[in-house]
């Protein structure tokens, strides 16, 4: 299992939160006069994002569990549970968003990754229990530049590591940006899969080889509110 260096994290789909603003910012920037060569060099080193959400203020990330994932848990004898502010209702996990930010840079330029920031879910998570063995996955952070979710992992109360790559996020199934009745941005449709690191950890901990990085956990729905 690889321990991942601590990253500012978010989700690939979170970049959609700023695409509309990016178009306006891009248009505005083209009307400005051309900078000097020294200014241009400095801009390339420290580019200005086309759009930015400096602070997120909620609300939550939900995952509707896939029937195959639920069946896999049953087959392996694993009982899921929730930690902290997380909830599990009618097959839907929900994790409160506690903070974060998103910057969107011009994808036509060389600066990478062009979506940066974090969607943070501190103080909540899920547990998987088999007999006296308990694995806890908490403090989720989602990275938009890598389409990965990281978090803290503990086994039987002992910390295995922080910022471990837990879930892979496939944004190819993402629906267009929507808005709820309260004006919050809603992004739904990203497929959540077990990461290679998490598959290895779970197999080692629970003494199986049945967990793979092809295992679909469910479909994510992010409802995000920018801080005022």
What does the pLDDT read at residue 226? 85
- Enumerate residues 6+ apart whose C-beta is below 8 A from 181: none
Pairing status of strand 178-179 against strand 56-65:
unpaired
Overall pTM surpassing 0.85 (yes/no): no
What does the pLDDT read at residue 6? 28
What number of other Cβ atoms are within 10 A of residue 170's Cβ? 17
- Enumerate residues 6+ apart whose C-beta is below 8 A from 107: 114
Question: Chain-centre distance of CA 193, in angstroms?
Answer: 12
Burial profile 91-114: b = 16 or more Cβ within 10 angstroms, e = fewer: eebbbbbbebbbbbbbeeeebebb
Q: Is 56 exposed, middle or buried (0-12, 13-18, 19+ CB in 10 A)?
A: buried
Q: What angle do CA 135, 216, 186 make, to 5 degrees?
A: 100
pLDDT in tens, 170-194: 988 888 878 899 988 888 999 999 9
- Enumerate residues 6+ apart whose C-beta is below 8 A from 98: 58, 120, 121, 122, 123
Dihedral angle over CA of 24, 145, 82, 93, nearest 10? 50
Are the beta carbons of 193 and 211 closer than 8 angstroms?
Answer: no
What does the pLDDT read at residue 44? 60
Q: What is the token pair recorded at 187? A: 């992004």
Q: Which segments in the chain show pLDDT lower than 50?
A: 1-43
**What DSSP character marks residue 150?**
E
């Amino acid at each position: 299992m690889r321990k991942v260096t601590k990253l500012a994290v978010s989700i690939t789909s979170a970049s959609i939160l700023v695409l509309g603003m990016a178009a306006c910012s891009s248009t505005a920037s083209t009307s400005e006069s051309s900078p000097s060569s020294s200014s241009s060099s400095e801009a390339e080193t420290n580019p200005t994002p086309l759009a930015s959400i400096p602070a997120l203020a909620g609300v939550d990330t939900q995952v509707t569990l896939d029937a195959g994932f639920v069946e896999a848990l049953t087959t392996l004898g694993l009982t899921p549970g929730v930690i902290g502010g997380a909830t599990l209702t009618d097959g839907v996990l929900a994790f409160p968003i506690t903070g974060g930010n998103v910057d969107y840079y011009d994808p036509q330029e060389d600066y990478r990754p062009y979506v940066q920031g974090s969607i943070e879910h501190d103080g909540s998570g899920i547990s998987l229990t088999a007999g006296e063995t308990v694995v806890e996955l908490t403090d989720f952070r989602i990275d938009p530049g890598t389409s990965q979710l990281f978090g803290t992992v503990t086994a039987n109360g002992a910390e295995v590591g922080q910022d471990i790559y837990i879930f892979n996020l496939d944004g190819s199934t993402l629906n267009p940006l929507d808005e709820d009745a309260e004006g919050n941005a809603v992004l739904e449709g990203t497929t959540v899969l077990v990461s290679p690191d998490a598959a290895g950890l779970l197999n080692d901990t629970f003494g199986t080889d049945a967990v793979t990085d092809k295992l679909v956990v469910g479909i994510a729905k992010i409802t995000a509110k920018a801080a005022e």
